[in-house]
């Protein structure tokens, strides 16, 4: 038989195969409608196992692994279609569309912005990167103060650190998210270059104690380990640490802070670039009271808790995989007062202008009171 003849046979099979595939997907839509009416989840692991066993028995032994892989792909496509149908025109999907329609086309260049710390803080630098036309900054002593200022309408925006490439997540911010209503509208990666600052004329060997934020100390762990005689003391902010040193009567104290703070508080730099990694970045989020989705949004953040049952997390992850959405971060935090229950914070790459992405978010949020959309926004680099 000639190759042409073989390919004609394959084409004839493909014609039947494509028709049967479409027929199966249409029936899958009926399954989605039934699940919607009866409040059933999209993913049914036992059903998929049963189908895999059944179709494996329908083919020769040497074809079983191939048919199983084929049907796993069919399952993923079927779930993706069901998710789109379940989430389409849901309350959350409509809210996302409305926010996209009503949000101005350009992100603002100025505004009244809440941030934690004092002048010279890295949060100030982040604010000025996000809002380049000199925003009106309102400083708060705590992260909770920033959330509250935005929630109560005192400030239009709030800027908060959420994770560092060297030392990890800022847990205090994650833990406050469950207590406040807000929406993320932008995130920013800010290069962080710590210095050791002291009073002018003081030498490194004279230092016995250093002040900084917990994150600052953690990001300079190697330097502190190399100087075991120096006591590390946590304070509320790197800029606050610099001000404490400047105002102290002691000459044996130093601060791990920014180069900007050296000039701001008339300190000298004892050591440059003491951070553990040259590639040290802190990610900041910008929050508002109301949902706004600016053009170019490419990241989605959700907060959720899952039932303490086997397969709950796998079920969640499979929904993202089904519609081709990549999860870039999954953070878990213990829920106070519970026995090993956790709240998850999830970041995914996705365009809310994509119907599949909106439908996925809609189906997740509207199916459960335990899922909250934190925002659809641009991750600014």
3-state helix, strand, coil in the chain (%, to 5): 45, 25, 30
Catalytic residue among 92, 148, 238, 282: 282
168 vs 215: CA distance, rounded Å: 8
345 vs 340: CA distance, rounded Å: 16
- Closest by CA to 363, choosing from 70, 41, 7, is 41
- Closest by CA to 136, choosing from 177, 176, 108, 161, is 108
**Do the Cβ atoms of 190 and 238 come closer than 8 Å?**
no
Catalytic residue among 107, 211, 284, 320: 284
110 vs 92: CA distance, rounded Å: 29
75 catalytically annotated = no
What tokens does 334 get? 């213990």
Beta strand spans in 258-325 (E): 268-271, 281-288, 299-305
**Do the Cβ atoms of 113 and 155 come closer than 8 Å?**
yes
284 catalytically annotated = yes
Q: Which residues are catalytic?
A: 282, 284
């Amino acid at each position: 038989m000639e190759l042409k003849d073989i390919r004609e046979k394959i084409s004839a099979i493909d014609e039947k195969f494509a028709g049967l595939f479409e027929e199966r997907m249409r029936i899958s839509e009926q399954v989605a409608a039934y699940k919607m009416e009866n409040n059933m989840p999209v993913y049914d692991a036992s059903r998929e196992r049963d189908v895999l066993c059944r179709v494996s028995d329908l083919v020769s032994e040497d074809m079983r692994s191939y048919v199983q892989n084929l049907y796993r792909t069919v399952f993923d496509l079927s779930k993706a279609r069901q998710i789109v149908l379940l989430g389409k025109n849901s309350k959350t999907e409509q809210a996302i569309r409305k926010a996209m329609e009503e949000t101005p086309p350009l992100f603002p260049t100025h505004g009244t912005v809440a941030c934690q710390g004092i002048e010279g803080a890295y949060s100030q630098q982040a604010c000025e990167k996000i809002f380049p036309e000199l925003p009106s900054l309102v400083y708060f002593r705590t992260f909770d103060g920033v959330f509250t200022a935005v929630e109560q309408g005192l400030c239009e925006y709030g800027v908060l650190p959420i994770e560092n490439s060297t030392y990890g997540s800022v847990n205090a911010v994650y833990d406050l998210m469950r207590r406040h209503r807000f929406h993320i509208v932008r995130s920013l990666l800010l290069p962080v270059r710590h210095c050791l600052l002291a009073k002018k004329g003081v030498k490194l060997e004279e230092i016995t104690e250093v002040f900084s934020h917990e994150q600052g100390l953690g990001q300079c762990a190697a330097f502190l380990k190399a100087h075991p005689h120096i006591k590390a003391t946590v304070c509320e902010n790197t800029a606050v640490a610099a001000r404490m040193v400047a105002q102290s009567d002691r000459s044996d104290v130093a601060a791990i802070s920014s180069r900007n703070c050296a000039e701001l508080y008339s300190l000298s730099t004892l050591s440059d670039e003491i951070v553990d990694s040259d590639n040290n970045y802190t990610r900041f989020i910008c929050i508002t009271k109301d949902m706004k989705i600016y053009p170019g949004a490419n990241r989605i953040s959700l907060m959720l808790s899952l039932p303490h049952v086997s397969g709950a997390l796998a079920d969640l992850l499979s929904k993202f995989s089904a519609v081709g959405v990549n999860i870039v971060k999954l953070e878990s935090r213990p829920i106070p007062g519970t026995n090993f229950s956790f709240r998850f914070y999830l970041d995914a790459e996705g365009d809310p202008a994509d119907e599949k992405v909106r439908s996925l978010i809609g189906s997740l949020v509207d199916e459960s009171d335990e899922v909250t959309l934190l925002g659809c926004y641009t991750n600014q680099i």
